[in-house]
A = this chain, B = another copy of it.
Amino acid sequence: MLSSIKRFLIGRPLKSNELGEQKLTKAKALAILSSDALSSVAYGPEQILIVLITVGAAAFWYSIPIAVGVLVLLAALILSYRQIIFAYPHGGGAYVVSKQNLGKYPGLIAGGSLLVDYILTVAVSVSAGTDAITSAFPSLHPYNVLIAVLFVCFITTLNLRGVTESASILAYPVYLFVLALFIMIGVGLFHIVTGQVPEGLHTPIGTPVAGISLFLLLRAFASGSSALTGVEAISNAIPNFKDPAPNNAAKTLAAMGILLACLFTGIVFLAYYYGISPMPDVTVVSQIAETTFGRNVMYFFVQGTTALILILAANTGYSAFPLLAVNLAKDKFIPRMFTVRGDRLGYSNGIIILGVLSILLIMAFEGKTEHLIPLYAVGVFIPFTLSQTGMIVKWNREKPPGWLPKLIINSTGALISLIVTVMFFLTKFPQVWPVLVFLPLIIYLFHRIRKHYEAVADQLRLSTCEPSIPIDGNVIILPVAGITHVVENSLNYAKTLSAHQIIAVYVAFEREDEAVFEEKWAKWQPDVRLVTLYSPYRSIIQPLVKFIDTVQRKASESNFKVTVIIPQFIPRKGWHNILHNQSGLLIRTNLLYRRNVVVTTVPFHLKK
């Protein structure tokens, strides 16, 4: 039943050697890996205006130089990540680059903040997309959380099916969104060039504005650079590309950079030229679309594809999180299970964990995750800064041919990223302080996990361990609850093992019971030794464990091992299990975890 539902949802299992077919072409990779970055143009320009309006609409012309600044940052990031792609063709992005060039802890800071960030990406994007949908259909508003959770489940399932298949479905909305925005920008520019837009809607560039300050401008710049979240996704996902992976990834990255730059510039410029002010209920993109087209079908096309791409931006998290998790798990900082490929060759544990955690986040914040955006942006710029600093160190150390321009590119990127990060902490501390709490906690956890794995490896290595003590024999203990077919079954099994001793143990709750049972047993199995234990507190486990301790002490003197045989009912139907006291399970858990005895479970399959 369960397994056929699984087959229906995620498809037949794939063989390990089918992995090549799951790799991404450039066109699909662009769709699947850049929906996060591209979707941020839907809110990035607006963030700039929201800061500028605090000193008045006259300051809006500053959005142009600020946008130039963001474009410079974008160019620096794209060029820098291009260099990272060729320098680290096996992927890993910020985590690998920081670790290899700056050391373990900077690497963990980058990896830890990205790991959390991808969860935030999923929660924030899906909530934002759901908001867009329920704004269009207000009657759905009470079901916001439910709809968001269903979207996460849907995206999780797609990703469990595998990257290529999900790319096919996800490619259309991304390209439609790009198309819609290009049409909007094109028509808008056409209107301006042909003089259909009045000149007086905006203040000319350079108009002096009272109250403007460098702090405010930097703050607007930091806000605007939230449009750049997601550009690192491609460099993390190089192993997903078709061969030659680095070349294809670099080309995809360049294409994404150009698209992002065009869309961002176009939207900032139109907003400035149209003189648009941010409003609480209507987004800037929506206002531009309305001014350009009026409320016709094109307007709804722009709005619809925007809503869709916001939801799909979550998918970037699904591509990047499992790959980052593999890198961290290979270095033993997170559980080994993240390195296991699932039925469809995706890293299914990472995908499922990401889905579950983001659903929990959505439910905890009741779908109102917007104020997590600054937290999310700062979580992106910390690894940006670290990875580019890492590249600076690399060029300085290795000095390959033509290293100077590379060094300059990365230095520029590192400096601007650092400024943005610092600006976030200075101007939005009330929203970003949790980073300072969670990041150290996560890194401590990474550290503890690594230590545990190292300790285990030490204990498993044959060469370093003391030679294991050979065992000279076995004492077998068989707890019995009565004289039944189950006991006979287990006893028959025990007798086939070359045990030097079989001891049946009976726990009695009443004194009278002891003698009665001993007599019965003597008649039934005169050659098997029976020990009865009286339990005044009606516990089976306590006297049993005490008895086993005594036996074990004696056994270990003569180098014997103690084996406890536990009969286990296996009913034909699952629900029947609650009708039987699960003492077998309890005894097994107790003995395995608390004592060093071998536990043998002899099943007794009920036939009706």
Which residue of B336, B461, B601 contacts A579 across the interface (Cβ within 8 Å)?
B336
Which residue of B485, B486, B498, B592 contacts A570 across the interface (Cβ within 8 Å)?
B592
Question: Is A213 an interface position by the 8 A CB rule?
Answer: no
**A9-B585 Cα distance, complex, nearest whole Å:** 26
Question: Is A473 an interface position by the 8 A CB rule?
Answer: yes
Judge whether B449 and A461 touch: CB under 8 Å.
no
Mark the stretch among A41-49, A156-164, A462-470 that contacts chain B: A462-470
Mask for A279-297, Cβ within 8 A of B = 1, else 0?
0000000000000000000
**A234-B66 Cα distance, complex, nearest whole Å:** 82
Mask for A471-510, Cβ within 8 A of B = 1, else 0?
1111000000011111011001101111000000000011
The chain B residue with its CB closest to the CB of A579 is B335
Judge whether A473 and B460 touch: CB under 8 Å.
no
Using Cβ atoms and an 8 Å threshold, which residues of chain B touch A538? 16, 340-343
> Given contacts A485-B468, A588-B601, is CB(A537)–CB(B13) below 8 Å?
yes
Judge whether B509 and A459 touch: CB under 8 Å.
no
Judge whether B603 and A601 touch: CB under 8 Å.
no
Judge whether A608 and B459 touch: CB under 8 Å.
yes
Judge whether A459 and B17 touch: CB under 8 Å.
no
Mark the stretch among A101-109, A254-262, A267-275, A450-458 that contacts chain B: A450-458
Using Cβ atoms and an 8 Å threshold, which residues of chain B touch A580? 336
Which residue of B461, B485, B492, B509 contacts A460 across the interface (Cβ within 8 Å)?
B485
Q: State which residues 72-109 of A face B: CB under 8 Å.
A: none
> Given contacts A16-B510, A536-B17, A601-B588, is CB(A461)–CB(B474) below 8 Å?
no
Using Cβ atoms and an 8 Å threshold, which residues of chain B touch A592? 568, 570, 601, 603
Using Cβ atoms and an 8 Å threshold, which residues of chain B touch A251? none
Using Cβ atoms and an 8 Å threshold, which residues of chain B touch A498? 496-498
**A134-B415 Cα distance, complex, nearest whole Å:** 60
> Given contacts A340-B581, A462-B484, is CB(A536)–CB(B15) below 8 Å?
yes
The chain B residue with its CB closest to the CB of A603 is B592
Which residue of B15, B335, B485, B578 contacts A465 across the interface (Cβ within 8 Å)?
B485
Q: State which residues 550-608 of A face B: CB under 8 Å.
A: 561, 563, 568-571, 576, 578-581, 588, 592-593, 596-603, 605-608
Using Cβ atoms and an 8 Å threshold, which residues of chain B touch A461? 484-485
Question: Is A337 an interface position by the 8 A CB rule?
Answer: yes
Looking at the assembled complex, report how far the CB atom of A480 sits from the nearest CB atom of chain B, in whole angstroms.
12
Using Cβ atoms and an 8 Å threshold, which residues of chain B touch A335? 578-579
**A465-B608 Cα distance, complex, nearest whole Å:** 14
Judge whether B600 and A598 touch: CB under 8 Å.
yes
Using Cβ atoms and an 8 Å threshold, which residues of chain B touch A341? 538
Chain A binding surface SS class: mixed
Judge whether A455 and B600 touch: CB under 8 Å.
no
> Given contacts A13-B537, A337-B581, A579-B452, is CB(A598)–CB(B596) below 8 Å?
no
Using Cβ atoms and an 8 Å threshold, which residues of chain B touch A537? 13-16, 343
Judge whether A606 and B336 touch: CB under 8 Å.
no
Using Cβ atoms and an 8 Å threshold, which residues of chain B touch A510? 16
Using Cβ atoms and an 8 Å threshold, which residues of chain B touch A495? 471
> Given contacts A13-B537, A568-B592, A606-B455, is CB(A460)–CB(B474) below 8 Å?
no
Using Cβ atoms and an 8 Å threshold, which residues of chain B touch A459? 485, 606-608
Using Cβ atoms and an 8 Å threshold, which residues of chain B touch A340? 538, 581
Looking at the assembled complex, report how far the CB atom of A2 sits from the nearest CB atom of chain B, in whole angstroms.
13
Q: State which residues 4-28 of A face B: CB under 8 Å.
A: 13-17
**A344-B456 Cα distance, complex, nearest whole Å:** 42
Using Cβ atoms and an 8 Å threshold, which residues of chain B touch A468? 485, 488-489, 492
Judge whether A561 and B596 touch: CB under 8 Å.
no
Looking at the assembled complex, report how far the CB atom of A19 sits from the nearest CB atom of chain B, in whole angstroms.
11
Using Cβ atoms and an 8 Å threshold, which residues of chain B touch A606? 455-456, 459
Looking at the assembled complex, report how far the CB atom of A383 sits from the nearest CB atom of chain B, in whole angstroms.
25
Judge whether B496 and A561 touch: CB under 8 Å.
yes
**A452-B496 Cα distance, complex, nearest whole Å:** 32
Looking at the assembled complex, report how far the CB atom of A588 sits from the nearest CB atom of chain B, in whole angstroms.
7
Looking at the assembled complex, report how far the CB atom of A452 sits from the nearest CB atom of chain B, in whole angstroms.
6
Judge whether A471 and B484 touch: CB under 8 Å.
no
Judge whether A460 and B484 touch: CB under 8 Å.
yes
Looking at the assembled complex, report how far the CB atom of A357 sits from the nearest CB atom of chain B, in whole angstroms.
14
**A510-B341 Cα distance, complex, nearest whole Å:** 13
Judge whether A600 and B599 touch: CB under 8 Å.
yes
Using Cβ atoms and an 8 Å threshold, which residues of chain B touch A597? 603
> Given contacts A16-B536, A488-B468, is CB(A601)–CB(B602) below 8 Å?
no
> Given contacts A496-B561, A498-B496, A536-B17, is CB(A593)–CB(B570) below 8 Å?
yes
Looking at the assembled complex, report how far the CB atom of A323 sits from the nearest CB atom of chain B, in whole angstroms.
18
Given contacts A453-B579, A456-B569, A496-B561, 14 further A-B contacts (CB under 8 A): A15-B536, A16-B509, A16-B538, A336-B581, A341-B538, A452-B579, A459-B606, A460-B482, A496-B498, A497-B498, A498-B498, A593-B603, A598-B601, A598-B603
A-B contact pairs, 7 of them (CB 8 A): A337-B581, A342-B538, A461-B484, A462-B483, A471-B493, A474-B497, A596-B603
Top 8 nearest A-B pairs by Cβ distance?
Answer: A498-B498, A460-B484, A15-B536, A600-B600, A455-B608, A13-B537, A599-B601, A471-B496
